[in-house]
Structure 1
Amino acid sequence: MKAISYRRYGGPEVLEYGELPDPKVGPDEVLVKVRAAAVNPVDWKAQAGYLDGMIDAVFPVVPGWDVSGVVVRPGVSVTEYAEGDEVMGYVREDFLSHGTFAEYVSAPLRTLARKPRTCSFEEAAGLPLVGLTAYQALRTALSVRSGETVLVLAAAGGVGSAAVQIARHLGCRVLGAVRESGRERVEALGAEPVLFDEPTFAAQIGALAPRGVDAVLDTLGGPFLPHAARLLAPGGRLASIADGEVLALGGRYYWVRPDAADLAALADLVDEGVLGVRVARTFPLERAADAQRAGAEGGLQGKVVVTVP
């Protein structure tokens, strides 16, 4: 099969396009013909070796964890899917090797759900990691409830915009911290914008929520996280997906998990019109390095997706 891979840690320059063996299909796995795979920051962080302390790399590594495509062959014990089913997945293994930037990927059942009927393969590929991260952080790490006020840091980003939509669906009031360029985006999603302006950040939130906020979801890390922690109401909860310093602030550092049931719930939200994914740019598989560069540059307000014909 054609695939993107790297044989050593590094930036986009280490990515190679060429032939690799077709993946084997385990008894509880599904062979998927990839139609699209999304680019995420964790891809180039893992590729640069930043995760080497926690995840082994078996070279050559095919990058990518997000995928949408069509089932080619179910494993021998799989009854949940049949040939031709359209699926999406967060195909994260316990090591780096068999990713989604390829013509085919063998996906464990725990990583898959049926693709939403109402969106394209490109949009579906952009949903799993950001959607699961937002969904699990809000429901598991923060246990948000209807009627609460939730502050989302970097609310115009991939995880942030998904979190705004999901929190609104759960009945929460949402304050979205953004740069000026993201103001219209978060307003359109139903959040009240708060600008990332350090001298006025606390005052802006104080004016909107004088008694404090019930929950903070940080998707960015950095200097605004301590400010947000001080804005919690009594009994408020704090979680970050981006900054381990949240632990010193009494919050939770959350890492998303593959979960088929959660992924199916996200697909339902898409088909119900509750949750949407914006695709900013697409690149063919052989230009995955350019896709990675575009994603790393930022400022796109949407997902970068690699497509496979």
Structure 2
Amino acid sequence: MTTTRTMRAIAFDRHGGPDVLRPTAVPVPEPAAGQVRVRVEAAGVNVWDTKLRAAPVVRVDLPHVPGLEVAGVVDAVGADLEDTAGAAGGDGPVRPGDRVVGFADTGGYAELALTSVFARVPDGVPATQAAGVPVASETALRVLRLLDVRAGETLLVHGATGSVGAFAVQLAVRRGARVVGTASPAGQARVAAMGAIPTTYGPGLVDRVRELAPGGVDAVLDAAGRGALPDSIALRGGTDRIVTIADPAADELGVRSTYAARRDARELAEVLDALGRRELTVTVGWVLPLEEAARAHELLEAGRAGGKIVLVP
């Protein structure tokens, strides 16, 4: 008789508030072709996790372990070692003991997780920072491609201190763009430290941005969803080159939205290399034990993250 190995995880067996997240014993996942199993050292917490927990936005089997991104040490590899090595975007095969970060194929809020799109973590980059890279960097790069932001142009980023906004600011600055970033009064120094021009959101935004960027705004990324799309349209003189990842009013206003991820291991590896060279930064707001996943969701939904929230088993 074969005994199924189990591991510790956080799961929900019904949709609802953060309190539905409970410690649960689930089967240890086995890597298939193209996958590696990671002993999780840090799991990123994302807005999608909270949406999936709160309501049946997509069909999932219950109980469900949430979590889109994991960083840790390779515990086992799939049969096609060479293919998994290529997936890591690096040289040579990936072996047990290597430090990686990637998009979780199984829930990240667990002791072990599978990933098929991953990259090596550079020396000196802690797992808690690496876990904040996959989702935010992919989203930021996807939006910058859609906006076709170029050197010399001015980009307005709403929510510049959020996970996606912060990556967008830094990546656009590296391209040679001039960036104006909105944030709370407490976040102004962080925006400036990333190389952008800070301003607060709220009433009077159009006038403030026009004063800071008298030559006009070439493109807008809304990563905040705070109702800034009408002001963005006013600044652009139309809906062209405005993209939101957070405002449900996009369709009625004729603004483009984007949610479908384009996961690319080599792109992830490039961002991690820049992080290792300290050309990019990840601000970690909270590091919480895995058992406090409910608190992590409460903080994120209340807008009190202050940076990336990370869970550690």
For residue 157 of structure 1, report the CA deviation from its aligned partner: 1.3
What is the rounded CA distance, in whole Å, between the counterparts of 2:282 and 2:292 in structure 1? 22
Pair 1:58 & 2:61 matched: yes
Indicate the larger mover: 246-255 or 120-129: 246-255
For residue 239 of structure 1, report the CA deviation from its aligned partner: 0.7
Point out where structure 2 has 5 or more consecutive residues left out of the alignment.
Answer: 1-6, 86-93
For residue 223 of structure 1, report the CA deviation from its aligned partner: 2.2
Could you tell me whether the CA contact under 8 Å between 1:216 and 1:229 is conserved in 2? Answer: no
What is the rounded CA distance, in whole Å, between the counterparts of 1:232 and 1:132 in structure 2? 25
TM-score by length of 2: 0.89
Match of 1:31 in 2: 37
What code does the residue aligned with 1:103 have?
Answer: E
Match of 1:103 in 2: 111
Match of 1:297 in 2: 302
1:169 counterpart (167, 171, 174): 174
For residue 56 of structure 1, report the CA deviation from its aligned partner: 1.6
What code does the residue aligned with 1:203 have?
Answer: D
Match of 2:3 in 1: none
Match of 2:90 in 1: none
- Structure 1's 50 and 184: CA in aligned 2 closer, same or farther, altered over 3 A? farther
Match of 1:186 in 2: 191
Point out where structure 1 has 5 or more consecutive residues left out of the alignment.
Answer: none
Aligned residues: 296
For residue 102 of structure 1, report the CA deviation from its aligned partner: 0.4
Pair 1:90 & 2:96 matched: no
Cα-to-partner distance string for 1:14-71 (whole Å, 9 max, x where unaligned): 11213111012111111111110011111111111152xxx22111110111110111
Could you tell me whether the CA contact under 8 Å between 1:116 and 1:124 is conserved in 2? Answer: no
Match of 2:220 in 1: 216
TM-score by length of 1: 0.90
For residue 214 of structure 1, report the CA deviation from its aligned partner: 0.8
1:127 counterpart (133, 140, 149): 133
Match of 2:153 in 1: 148
Root-mean-square deviation (CA, aligned residues, Å) is: 1.8
For residue 233 of structure 1, report the CA deviation from its aligned partner: 6.6
Pair 1:160 & 2:173 matched: no
Pair 1:70 & 2:73 matched: yes
For residue 235 of structure 1, report the CA deviation from its aligned partner: 9.6
1:239 counterpart (238, 243, 246): 243
For residue 282 of structure 1, report the CA deviation from its aligned partner: 1.2
What code does the residue aligned with 1:105 have?
Answer: A
Q: Secondary structure at the match of 2:81?
A: coil
For residue 204 of structure 1, report the CA deviation from its aligned partner: 0.9
For residue 297 of structure 1, report the CA deviation from its aligned partner: 2.6
Could you tell me whether the CA contact under 8 Å between 1:288 and 1:306 is conserved in 2? Answer: yes
Q: Secondary structure at the match of 2:123?
A: coil
What is the rounded CA distance, in whole Å, between the counterparts of 2:41 and 2:227 in structure 1? 39
What is the rounded CA distance, in whole Å, between the counterparts of 2:212 and 2:273 in structure 1? 32
Q: Secondary structure at the match of 1:304?
A: strand
Q: Secondary structure at the match of 2:278?
A: coil
Q: Where does 1:273-284 land on structure 2 (aligned, <5 Å)?
A: 273-284=278-289
Q: Secondary structure at the match of 2:28?
A: coil
For residue 105 of structure 1, report the CA deviation from its aligned partner: 0.7
Superposed structure 1 runs of 4+ greater than 6 Å apart? none
What is the rounded CA distance, in whole Å, between the counterparts of 2:76 and 2:227 in structure 1? 48
What is the rounded CA distance, in whole Å, between the counterparts of 1:203 and 1:242 in structure 2? 23
What is the rounded CA distance, in whole Å, between the counterparts of 1:155 and 1:167 in structure 2? 12
